[in-house]
Amino acid sequence: MTAKACAVSALVLSISIGWIADPAAAQPAPQGAQRFNLVEIIDHNGFEAPVPAARIMIPVGWQHRGGVIWNPQTGCQAEATRFEWAAGDPAGASAVEIVPATAWQATNLPPQFQSTGGCTNAGFSDIRQFLQALVQARRPGAAILDFRPRADIAKPLGDMLTQTAMAPMPGIEQRTWADAGEVLIAYRYKSQNVREIIGASAIFSVTRMADAMGGVMEFMYGSSLPAFAMRAPDEALDFQLYETIRLSMKPDPQWQARMNRHNQTVAQINAKGARERSRITAQANAEISTMIHEGWKARQAIEDKSHDKLIRAIRGQEIYNDPQMGEQVELPNTYSHAWRLEDGSYLMTDNPNLNPYVEFGINAVELQRAQ
């Protein structure tokens, strides 16, 4: 999960980082198993020195590049801080990508009162519509083969929205909900037929209120969390690998705490700015601002929530005990067995009889699921 805003006085910052090679030997894992390294996603420019923003598991031998991009000049709060990161095998045939978070909004107000605040002008009301537009924008010409709703992801998000919901203001009807899903697409990449799965989750909000003419003003707002994509040659897409890498991403606690404080400052600045607008413009924009701020707070509450069990439910994590190191580690729950190898990599498998030393000649300890 990422932070969503940056100070209005900050400079535009960006990064251009080459592929970073995986330091471990690229010895393939046996059938039915996958060997991973834990790598850092770096925020190079957000603070006084580069810091890890998140950590994620990638297969041994893969390379990765990118990091956190700051764009304070954007008018869209959700896009001010973005993850721009990808990893793939050396040949480039298979790859994963974090798709940056974004936001959109729409209203039925007359054109002179319509303002998106720099966000996309769109009225997506479910994740399928959002993903269709995302594919058109990022993979032009790709064919959408299938769509799958992800109620397992949407429900915990919806539960957290319910927990953090505020009492509605008099005369205003507001509904906020979460949705999640995945699309399977096909296209040509470097003269090769590939398939790709793109998964996303988002928060949607609709606000309605009466206007002075007896009609109803309606405002729609949506805000996605960072999406996740994985590409592979035709018929070689590994859905278990996709899910494992996706679930392994974990924000760095210190970076997230600093971003949370930063976001609170920006929210206060934005609220003050809304109050200082002219009367007519403020009447329209204050209502939009209320809706946007409520949606932002809902998403921020999800990202700031500190209840470990709920976070693990959303992120599909299991706690494992490392008997040798005497500590615990969080890993995706997509495999039934996990090992920590002596070189620092992890081996995950559904095969209870697999012996990492026999396969790699490296000492390893099996991790036990915590009760």
The pLDDT of residue 346 is above 50: yes
Query: What is the pLDDT averaged over residues 335-353?
Result: 91
Q: What end-to-end distance do the CA atoms of the chain give, in Å?
A: 26
Backbone torsions φ then ψ of 315, nearest 5 degrees? -90, 0
pLDDT digits (tens, 9 = 90+) for 165-205: 666 667 778 888 999 999 999 999 988 999 999 999 999 98
Count Cβ atoms below 10 Å from residue 5 Cβ, excluding itself. Answer: 23
User: Tokens 């946007």 sit at which residue?
Assistant: 292
pLDDT digits (tens, 9 = 90+) for 43-91: 988 888 899 999 999 999 999 999 998 887 887 877 888 899 999 998 8
Closest CA to 249 of 298, 203, 199, 202: 199
The pLDDT of residue 27 is above 80: no
pLDDT digits (tens, 9 = 90+) for 249-300: 988 888 888 887 877 776 665 555 444 433 333 344 444 444 444 454 555 5
pLDDT value, residue 77: 77
Dist. CA 139–CA 188, nearest whole Å: 10
Report residue 20's pLDDT band, with 50, 70 and 90 as the boundaries: low
The pLDDT of residue 363 is above 80: yes
User: Tokens 């009889």 sit at which residue?
Assistant: 353
271: left (phi over 0), alpha (psi -120 to 50) or beta: alpha
pLDDT value, residue 303: 52
Q: Which amino acid is at 264?
A: Q
> By the 8 A CB rule, do 183 and 132 touch?
yes
Q: Decide which of 166 and 360 is more confident.
A: 360
Dist. CA 164–CA 53, nearest whole Å: 25
Q: Decide which of 47 and 16 is more confident.
A: 47
Type and span of the H or E element at 236: none
pLDDT digits (tens, 9 = 90+) for 109-148: 776 566 656 788 888 999 999 999 999 999 999 999 999 9
Burial class of residue 242 in the structure, from the number of CB atoms within 10 Å of its CB (0-12 exposed, 13-18 middle, 19+ buried): buried
Count Cβ atoms below 10 Å from residue 83 Cβ, excluding itself. Answer: 24
Q: What percent of the chain has pLDDT over 70?
A: 74
pLDDT value, residue 85: 95
Report residue 15's pLDDT band, with 50, 70 and 90 as the boundaries: very low
> By the 8 A CB rule, do 348 and 330 touch?
no
Dist. CA 190–CA 185, nearest whole Å: 16
